[in-house]
Amino acid sequence: MNQDPPVSAVPPDLQEVLLTTPRLRREQRTIEAMLHIWCEAQPLHQRRRDGELCAGCQGLFSYASYRLVRCPYGEEKPTCKRCPIHCYTRDKREQMHEVMRFAGPRMLLRHPVLAYHHLRDEKRAAPPLRRTPRPLGGDEEARASCRSN
């Protein structure tokens, strides 16, 4: 039995608050635009009447948004294609790859500004990850006492 991880532990309204930088919000809009192009072209997808994504595509968008919020690179995030960290699960990564291969060329006509920025961002190399400093206090003292014994 393949059990998917929770789609998103961060509610959608809170995700917009957490995506505080214009670049990350643009990245999220690009993902959403690609998913709309993909979902419209798939005859078996049951889109809602108000033009929203089908349940499967909405789930993939929520997952991608959550991963975007949790990205360790933050504002300096490279495109997923150039990123050394694969934070998507294998099946979600394959789904998103299929969506991007289909929607990428169509983005030039439907959303040229987002496509331009995405292509420009693809040229950006992944920056080195900054390590977070270890917290001082109990852990350091415990390690020091273990070493001295």
Give, in order, the Cα–Cα distances in Å from 65 to each of 58, 131, 137: 10, 23, 35
Q: Hey, what long-range contacts does 104-107 have (CB within 8 A, 24 or more apart)?
A: 104/34, 106/37, 107/30, 107/33, 107/34, 107/37
Which residues, including other chains, have CB under 8 Å from residue 108's CB and lie 6 or more apart?
A: 115
Instruction: Tell whether the model's pLDDT for residue 17 goes beyond 80.
Output: no
pTM for this entry: 0.71
pLDDT given for residue 3 in this prediction: 43
pLDDT digits (tens, 9 = 90+) for 27-75: 889 999 999 999 888 877 776 667 788 888 999 999 998 888 888 887 8
pLDDT given for residue 145 in this prediction: 44
Average pLDDT estimate for 99-112: 92
Degrees, nearest 5: CA angle 104-44-102? 10
Q: CB burial class (10 A; 0-12, 13-18, 19+) of residue 30?
A: buried
End-to-end CA distance of the chain: 48
pLDDT higher for 6 or 105? 105
Instruction: Tell whether the model's pLDDT for residue 94 goes beyond 90.
Output: yes
